[in-house]
Amino acid sequence: MQLFLSQLMNGLGNGVIYASLALAIVLIYRTTGLLNFAQGEMALFSTYVTWKLVDDSEMGLPVAAAIGISMVIAFVGGALIERVVIRPVERSSPLVIVIVTIGMFLAINSIAQAIFGTDTKQLPSVFSDAAWVVGGVRVTAQTVGLVGVLAAECLLLWLLLQKTRVGLGLRAVASNPDSSRLVGIGTGNMLMLGWAISAALGALAGAMIVPMTPGLSAGSMQAVLIYAFAAAALGGFDSPLGAVVGGIIVGVAQALAIQYVDPLNDIELVVPFALIGGVLLFRPTGLFGRRVVERV
Amino acid sequence: MTLLSVTALAGGYGPVKVLHGLDFEVAHGEIVVILGANGAGKTTTLRALSGMIPSDGEIVFDGEDVTGRKPQVLARRGVAHVPQGRGTIDELTVEENLRVGAWTRRDSDVAADVDRWFEVFPHLADRRTQQAGSMSGGEQQMLAIARGLMSRPRLLLLDEPSLGLAPIITQELFAQLGDLNRELDTAMLIVEQNAGLALRLASRGYVLETGRIVAQGAATELEGNEDVRRAYLGL
Ligand SMILES: Nc1ncnc2c1ncn2[C@@H]1O[C@H](COP(=O)(O)OP(=O)(O)O)[C@@H](O)[C@H]1O
Ligand SMILES: [Mg+2]
């Protein structure tokens, strides 16, 4: 039982991470109707920026401040990517756009390696390494912190989308771009904003993920991206709530599968793929989604 | 006084030319109807007017040349376009659809206007917090029109408002459009298949055939015109 509970905690920690990247994917899908395969690499790049801000002998910023700054940089970068890379192909076929985001995946990855080098970097966690034992289960400050960050992120996103004028515009454009243009919403600006917010969330997710891994390197985000896609598929690509629930389910499923299903020990990536396949087969809208993903 | 004056309007979809030089106008506070068979180019005309598709020719709205301007600009100048079919924003609630209709407004009367349209369309008031996409076709049409009016437009473009509505609802809707026009002095350019009803509401009309205007005149004149009666009124 205790083993089960501690695996559950592990799973929760990972799940929250998948959820935060899945949220970024969902946000772009909701506003623009496309799946951004470069989401993980955008987060990777931002995380390198965070690392640089912390590690650089002259700047040497505290981790939290570095994350804040790199989120701002990512926000601007995301907006630029929408303007410069995505907008020219916006009206092309879905296949073209998928190929463009895959191209971005490769390009951003190489650029990151060219700028920051290929050696593995260490990014300290924002959270302390304290841990408590609650009812025989070890609960780390790391896990509690991650859950807190995700909860805050969700609350802010919810307030933005549901309670502000800009949020109303974002949701309108996501649902019906033509009618939105007719009421006078600058749909281009809304799409740009969707990419900007999503890139900033990715920067945050990256800085949360890397301290839980052996280090920051060019491949850091690739497995995580697959889990995040599984989370988004499970929750529904157009549902922020689904991303969170999906992320946690995927994280927990992964932890339990590794613990209890021996043969999966080294090939744990089977778990997200099985989930994606299962969802697309049995419930294409995901648990909380409304729209069937057709543009993949 | 002319509110909208269109000269030699041409346009279409990429290489496909649909409109071949239309001249028409709408006066301040006037209701004008565009009749024509399916595929005549009525929807395309409205789309060109609101900037949804590129066009050639000249569109002057309230003394300003707005040819080729974006929908955003037209919306800000006071043109509200209620598109054909589902014009509602499905994932927003009924009330949010109305609020988003006032996107271009910065005054503080938006909430009062929302209440006002809820009074005019009590069906919508009952469904205030319901998602627009889950309503019936008729309710969605009402909502799309109310949303158009939320911008306090000077010109309302209505594309087949009776499409998919029961005859009795259509009559109610047209009566309401007449009231609104008298009360707010909102000019309307209405595209309709239901020519009889539309001609009774409008003061003037144009008949469109494969992208050209083939007849025009006072509504009563068009209603009496033998060719028009045979071709478009099914009489
Ligand atoms: N999106 C489009 N792309 C290409 N051709 C179109 C498009 N929409 C309409 N058309 C063509 O333009 C012509 C006029 O269409 P439309 O303006 O919708 O007619 P109406 O509203 O009078 O029924 C038709 O021949 C139609 O096939
Ligand atoms: Mg039409």
HEC string for A173-214: HHHCHHHHHHCCCCHHHHHHHHHHHHHHHHHHHHHHHHHHCC
Rounded to two decimals, the pTM is 0.88
Chain length of chain B: 235
Domain ranges of chain A: 2-218
Residue B184 CB coordination number (10 Å): 14
Q: How far apart are alpha carbons B207 and B209 in whole angstroms?
A: 7
Q: pLDDT confidence of B225, banded at 50, 70, 90?
A: confident
Eight-class DSSP state of A86: I
Give residues with Cβ within 8 angstroms of A117, minimum separation 6.
none
Pairing label, strands B204-209, B187-191? unpaired
Residue for token pair 């509504």: B219
pLDDT at residue A265, rounded to an integer: 60
Residue for token pair 């989370």: A231
**Which residue minimizes the CA distance to atom 17 of ligand 1?**
B41
Question: Dihedral, CA atoms, B89, B93, B97, B99, nearest 10 degrees?
Answer: -150
pLDDT at residue A294, rounded to an integer: 45
Kindly list the residues from chain B whose CB atom is less than 8 angstroms away from the CB atom of residue A178: 52, 83
Q: What is the mean pLDDT of chain B?
A: 92
Best of A30, A179, A190 to mutate (most B CBs within 10 Å, chain B)? A179
Q: How far apart are alpha carbons B199 and B183 in whole angstroms?
A: 20
Contact B211 CB / ligand 1 (< 6 Å): no
Kindly list the residues from chain B whose CB atom is less than 8 angstroms away from the CB atom of residue A183: 75, 80, 100-101, 103-104, 147, 151
Eight-class DSSP state of A164: S
What are the residue ranges in chain A where pLDDT is below 70?
A: 262-268, 290-296
Give residues with Cβ within 8 angstroms of B182, minimum separation 6.
none
Q: Is the pLDDT of residue B123 over 50?
A: yes
Decide if B100 and A183 are in contact by the 8 Å CB cutoff. yes
Give residues with Cβ within 8 angstroms of A174, minimum separation 6.
A30, A31, A32, A33, A194, A238, B91
Read out DSSP for B124-164?
HHHTTTSBGGGS-HHHHHHHHHHHHHHT--SEEEEE-TTTT
pLDDT at residue A278, rounded to an integer: 79
Residue with the larger pLDDT of the pair B164 and A66: A66
Average confidence (pLDDT) over B115-125 = 90
ipTM score of the complex? Answer: 0.91
Element holding B229 (H helix, E strand):
helix B226-232
Ligand 1 atom showing the smallest separation from residue B42 Cα: 22
Q: How far apart are alpha carbons B79 and B100 in whole angstroms?
A: 15
* Ligand 1 centroid, distance to B208 Cα (angstroms): 13
Ligand 1 atom showing the smallest separation from residue B191 Cα: 21
Helical residues (DSSP H) of chain A, grouped into ranges: 2-32, 39-55, 63-81, 94-116, 141-163, 165-175, 177-182, 187-209, 222-235, 240-260, 270-282
The string of pLDDT tens digits covering residues A83-135 is: 999 999 888 887 888 899 999 999 999 999 999 999 999 999 989 888 898 88
Nearest-Å Rg of the Cα atoms of chain B is 17
Whole-number Cα distances in Å, B42 to A98, A162, B83, B205, B210? 36, 37, 11, 12, 9
pLDDT at residue A57, rounded to an integer: 76
Residue for token pair 């396949």: A277
Pairing label, strands B55-61, B212-218? unpaired
Best of B88, B89, B141 to mutate (most A CBs within 10 Å, chain A)? B89
Eight-class DSSP state of A239: -
| Tokens read off for A10 | 């592990």
Strands, DSSP E only, in B62-143? 64-65, 79-82
* Ligand 1 centroid, distance to B2 Cα (angstroms): 28
Residue at A232: amino acid letter = A
Task: Kindly provide the b/e burial profile for residues A163-184, where b requires at least 16 CB atoms within 10 angstroms of the residue's own CB.
Answer: eeeebbbbbbbbbbbbbbbbbb
Contact B41 CB / ligand 1 (< 6 Å): yes
Average confidence (pLDDT) over B83-105 = 93
Decide if B151 and A183 are in contact by the 8 Å CB cutoff. yes
Contact B39 CB / ligand 1 (< 6 Å): yes
Contacts 24+ apart (CB under 8 A), A103-108: A104/A37, A104/A38, A104/A41, A104/A42, A105/A37, A105/A38, A105/A40, A105/A41, A108/A38, A108/A41, A108/A42, A108/A44, A108/A45
Residue with the larger pLDDT of the pair B74 and A267: B74
Q: How far apart are alpha carbons B161 and B126 in whole angstroms?
A: 21
Contact B36 CB / ligand 1 (< 6 Å): yes
Q: Which domains does chain B have, with CATH numbers?
A: 2-78+153-232 (3.40.50.300), 88-151 (no CATH)
Nearest-Å Rg of the Cα atoms of chain A is 19
Pairing label, strands B55-61, B64-65? antiparallel
Residue whose C-alpha is closest to residue B53's, from B4, B10, B13: B13
Decide if B92 and A184 are in contact by the 8 Å CB cutoff. no
pLDDT at residue A295, rounded to an integer: 38
Q: What percent of chain B has pLDDT over 90?
A: 75
pLDDT at residue B114, rounded to an integer: 96
Q: Is the pLDDT of residue B235 over 60?
A: no
End-to-end CA distance of chain B: 34
Element holding B195 (H helix, E strand):
helix B195-201
Element holding B190 (H helix, E strand):
strand B187-191
Q: Is the pLDDT of residue B53 over 70?
A: yes
Give residues with Cβ within 8 angstroms of A153, minimum separation 6.
A20, A23, A201, A204
Pairing label, strands A137-140, A131-134? antiparallel
Residue B24 CB coordination number (10 Å): 19
Residue whose C-alpha is closest to residue A188's, from A173, A166, A168, A172: A173
Residue for token pair 């974006």: B70
Ligand 1 atom showing the smallest separation from residue B208 Cα: 22
| Tokens read off for B226 | 């033998």
Contact B129 CB / ligand 1 (< 6 Å): no
What is the number of alpha carbons within 13 Å of residue B60 lying toward its C-beta?
14
Give Cα A142 to chain centroid, integer Å.
18
- Assess contact for A276 and A233: CB atoms under 8 A: yes
